Each structure stands twice: as C-alpha cells, then as structure tokens.
Amino acid sequence: MADDLFKALADPTRRTIIDELAEQSGQTLFEICSRLSMKHRLGISRQAVSQHLAVLEAAGLVETRREGRYKFHDLNTAPLRLIVERWLVPRTSEPEENTP
C-alpha cells in the first residue's frame, strides 16, 4: 500500500492530476485530459492519462464512480494521512515499516 502511494506521487503528471481533482472532484476522463492539455500544456495521450489514473486508483488516491452512462473520477485524500501519521504526528511507539 505505502509503495503504491509513493510510486503514485513520484510522477509530476500524476501530481498535476491530483491538483486538478482537488480543485474539482467528479471529472470525466475527457475533462481531466482537457485540463492537462489546455491548462498545463501537457501533450499527453488519452491512453497515457488512463494509465496514470490506474496508478492513482491502485494507490487509493482516485476512485471511479459510475453514474448512469458516465464515469467520474473523484479524489480520495485519505491515503495521504499515512504520510502525515508516519512522520509528522508525534508518536510514542516506534514507526512501523509497512513495506514487505
């Protein structure tokens, strides 16, 4: 889980996708692609965006939701708490290494 999270965050395009979903939740693939190309001038194919979304979804940062005939992507920031809790929250016990 932690590996997936850090891997997902390691890529600048994926961080941009997170920025955009933080601004507006519930986006179609088309909207995400539009934002990347028009706002950020990222020349990136729809297939590549789909792959980035799959990585974000595996890390639990993006959730997809079907509504009628459309599919929307929502941001889930809950996994980011792992980072805060691991280093920023004072704890009495020893930090746990989650990676195998």
Between residue 42 and residue 81, which ones bind other proteins under the rule CB under 8 A? 46, 69-72
91 binds other proteins (CB under 8 A): no
Residue with tokens 């708490």: 81
β strands within 1-100, DSSP E: 62-67, 70-75
Binding residues for other proteins, rule CB under 8 A, total 15
Minimal distance in Å, beta carbon 31 to other proteins? 5
Residue 64 to residue 67: CA distance in whole angstroms: 10
Burial class (CB in 10 A: 0-12, 13-18, 19+), 52: buried
Selected from 35, 52, 56, 59, the binder of other proteins by CB under 8 A is: 35
- Chain positions contacting other proteins, by CB under 8 A: 24, 27-31, 34-35, 38-39, 46, 69-72
